[in-house]
Amino acid sequence: MEAYLIDWLSLLGRWLHILTGIAWIGASFYFVWLDNHLVPPTDPELQKKGVGGELWAVHGGGFYNAQKYLVAPEKLPPSLHWFKWEAYWTWMSGFFLLCLIYYVGASSYLVDKDVADIASGTAILIGLGTLIAGWIIYDRLCEAKLSGTTLAAIMTVLLIGAAYGLCHVFSGRGAYLHFGALLGTIMVANVFFVIIPGQRELVIAKQQGRVPDPRHGLRGKQRSVHNTYFTLPVIFVMFSNHYAMTYGHRYNWLILVAISLAGAAIRTWFVARHKGKASPLPAIVGVLLLAGVAVAIAPAPASNAPAAAATQSNPVEFLRVQIIIQERCVRCHAATPTQPGINAAPKGLMFETAEQVLAHAQQIAQQTASKVMPLGNLTGMTDEERAVIAAWFAHGAQK
């Protein structure tokens, strides 16, 4: 019953996370696009009012005229829409899922004894500390008045270090999710601590008859631009747990860095394209990085089986493989799982019969060879057993 309840909480939390994430990212993308398409107003009256740029658009059968003031209008309208709850709820629902899955189930999803033999409580503290320290370091760097290029270079180096460190402390899935949570925390903290307070100060200044300080707008714009470059890497991490070929690889940290850089490069091209002066170089770099990763982690052909499998000169008896799978995998991959915390067979895959094992031979071989499965190696599968499965598959996965 407990596992069933957790499944429902996970379902509802993930649903909320995706919905609010769409709203936040959609608004962020739209305003970046809008800023880059504004043109100086031709109407002298608008110029006198302090309008710095405007845009005409047609959508849903109507015409829209968006205007942006250089600082603020002379008189505030009776109501203003604040874009903040989309960001807050995206982070809160994401943190809820992080706690529910990776902290409550730390021994299964966060800790991998083959990576680092640490206690669940220690792992949780490291995870939380990473999120807090990441924001503090980033925020101090932004306030250090560095040039955009210098700040980008330092952040890139620090994030590479974070990816490497996380992948050498947590399980692959746990490391990837915490890297995404680190970026997501920086993004929402930008909204909560910088963008919204700056906007609130502009409003208060107008209400009190003071001249608004344009510095708040500039700081908010800087953080907003940073957020848009973090978006694609965060989205990749959100669904990365479906692709063990990335987080389960020996060089998972390097794959994480490469795909994140590819996402940032592609987003850079889109932003420049909005401005009408897009060099294709960032997009080319992003695509080449993705292609390079795909080629680098491609599975070896059966004729080039891993060295561990090659030591098995004769075909492995299927009965031997089936015994290993029964002992190490069927606790979860069964019609009625017996592993605590598992309510249904992951991805609906069951290995209780010979036919089921043969039907999913390639997936079994790939997941066990990468050490992604068994999850957290809770069942204690040995390297010798993994080599037996690899040899069986290399010799044709026969019954």
CA angle 145, 148, 152 (to 5 degrees): 110
Task: Provide the 10 A C-beta neighbour count for residue 393.
Answer: 23
The pair of structure tokens assigned to 366 is 């790939």
Measuring CA to CA, which residue among 399, 376, 384, 378 is closest to residue 172? 376
Could you read off the pLDDT of 31-44 as tens digits, one per residue?
A: 989 998 999 999 99
Gap between the Cα atoms of 176 and 193, Å rounded: 25
| Confidence at residue 202, expressed as pLDDT on a 0 to 100 scale | 87
Whole-Å CA distances, 200 to 67, 75, 81, 84, 216: 19, 15, 12, 12, 9
Task: Provide the 10 A C-beta neighbour count for residue 26.
Answer: 11
CA angle 286, 292, 294 (to 5 degrees): 105
The pair of structure tokens assigned to 223 is 């953080």
Position 94, amino acid: G
Whole-Å CA distances, 362 to 10, 35, 356: 29, 49, 12
The pair of structure tokens assigned to 111 is 């800790």
Instruction: State the burial class of residue 380 (Cβ atoms within 10 Å of its Cβ: 0-12, 13-18, 19+).
Output: exposed
Gap between the Cα atoms of 261 and 372, Å rounded: 24
Q: Which residues have CB under 8 Å from 283's CB, separation 6+?
A: 265, 266, 269
| Confidence at residue 314, expressed as pLDDT on a 0 to 100 scale | 63
Strand partners, 39: 54
Tell me which residue has tokens 């040995």: 382
Measuring CA to CA, which residue among 33, 28, 74 is closest to residue 55? 33
| Confidence at residue 300, expressed as pLDDT on a 0 to 100 scale | 67
Name residues of the chain where pLDDT drops below 50: 303-312
To the question of pTM greater than 0.95 for the whole model, the response is no
Q: DSSP label at 233?
A: H
Task: Provide the 10 A C-beta neighbour count for residue 86.
Answer: 19
| Confidence at residue 153, expressed as pLDDT on a 0 to 100 scale | 97
Q: Are 265 and 59 in contact (CB under 8 A)?
A: no
Gap between the Cα atoms of 183 and 100, Å rounded: 19
Position 377, amino acid: N
| Confidence at residue 1, expressed as pLDDT on a 0 to 100 scale | 57
Report residue 175 CA to chain centroid gap. Answer: 10
